[in-house]
Copies of this chain bind each other. A is one copy, B any other.
């Protein structure tokens, strides 16, 4: 049973070959999770607001499940949080514990069956689960369970985790969770609710973030601390790698198996994914991005007239680069903020005639200038060459491209869509070859050392940098068995 051949969504394959290059050339975050335990609170509404703050982590589908002590009710659907829920929907989700989830979209893989939370009945009642991450032993485990007669409605890791939870739970769900953690391998930040309890679970290496906060008489879990801020909750601490927090009327109980104290937080959360206003494992994202810009300035000072970021994610690094080098900063690229999911893409013919929807240049800013163009990462390189050309067309004399992270050489198996390795521009090319494709006057990446330096005071060995180095902290499936880039959360 090959995972990539299983389809149940009624969707024909994408027949618009020009589309991917029109998208952002960025890795895609898998998911965002949110949980709240709060008897007497409007938990569904607070989950709704919390999901709004995590929307950048997934725009394909959204869902909220609520436990009221007796049953779990769930509403989910395709689209943004604001599209999936009406006020009436939220009103119907009464309860004391809630779980919210947002999931991202890649063409052809989106289907409402895969939307989360997953809600299910098992021998001890009902459970709902939301997952951010990716298992690396999915195939092994799913073959084993299927051989024992298990059936699956999706091919997601998440449904597999549910089946394992049901089999490992005897009398006590917390025990079942710990047993499940000993079976599953990979990256996972999970929020689980029963009819009256909330659980937060982070994998032994802590690849994906998950934090805990207090809100009035209750508690909150979220992928990022910005979601706590949004509802006015107070940050308590990150959930620790390998930790299970159980929240109920007795407050917060921490449970854990014994694991080595190794950590492997995804460094890309700081480079690109997470909100600037979030703090992950003690480090503020915006500060880390400023440090990336400063490291870049130290490693690659350029003689130039102007620093221009690729909006929006590189702005912070570019500001710091400009401040450090003394080169003026300006927003020379303007992004159209209305390009959304339902956008009618221009045909290749129209694009070649100049239709360019997403970015526009400011000629008055760029004309005659030697420009340092800063981006946070390059994945396939499909848009970089277009942006460089746009900036030249606006009159720039030189375009020097700087990237505030190292070259992406390896696919991610831990919950990020970084494309297949064969599509990664840096996987099989040296710097000169990439420069030739990009068409800039010069191209430089931040070094891995510079990246680590920017993460201070977090130590280098706190991070997973496999996409840059190939040093996978968790064994990955052999080639052929799984598409590394598949989002299975």
- Give me the interface of A with B, judged by CB distance under 8 Å: 1, 5-12, 42, 45-46, 48-49, 52-53, 55-56, 70-75, 80-83, 85-87, 89-90, 92-94, 118-123, 125-126, 143, 146-155, 162-163, 166-168, 216, 226, 229-233, 275-277, 279, 284, 286-287, 290, 315-316, 319, 323, 328-331, 334, 336-344, 346, 350, 353-357, 360-365
Name 18 interchain pairs, CB-CB below 8 A, sorted by A.
A8-B74, A11-B73, A45-B346, A49-B355, A52-B339, A55-B338, A81-B338, A86-B344, A120-B152, A120-B153, A122-B149, A123-B146, A151-B162, A275-B334, A276-B331, A277-B360, A279-B364, A286-B362
Docked-complex contact A334 and B166, CB < 8 angstroms: no
CA distance A93 to B7 in the complex (A): 12
- Extra inter-chain contacts (13) besides given A12-B92, A148-B167, A290-B330, CB under 8 Å: A8-B119, A11-B92, A49-B357, A52-B336, A82-B344, A120-B153, A121-B153, A122-B152, A149-B150, A275-B334, A276-B334, A276-B362, A286-B334
Contact B7 A354 (CB under 8 A): no
> Pick the contact of A356 from B11, B229, B330, B339 — CB < 8 Å?
B229
Give, as a whole number of angstroms, the nearest-CB distance from A159 to chain B.
Answer: 8
Minimum C-beta distance from A171 to chain B (A): 12
Given contacts A350-B45, A354-B232, contact A338 B52 (CB under 8 A): yes
B73 and A10 contact, CB distance less than 8 A = yes
Q: Is A90 touching B126 in the complex (CB atoms < 8 A)?
A: no
Residue of B11, B119, B287, B344 near A153 (CB, 8 A) is B119
Known: A323-B328, A343-B82. A336 touches B149 (CB 8 A): no
Q: Tell me the bound Cα distance from A208 to B370 in angstroms.
A: 35
Q: How far is the CB of A467 from chain B (nearest CB, A)?
A: 25
Once A1-B125, A153-B120 are accepted as A-B contacts, the answer to whether A356 and B232 lie under 8 Å apart by CB is yes
Contact assessment for A226 and B360 in the assembled complex, using a CB-CB cutoff below 8 Å:
yes
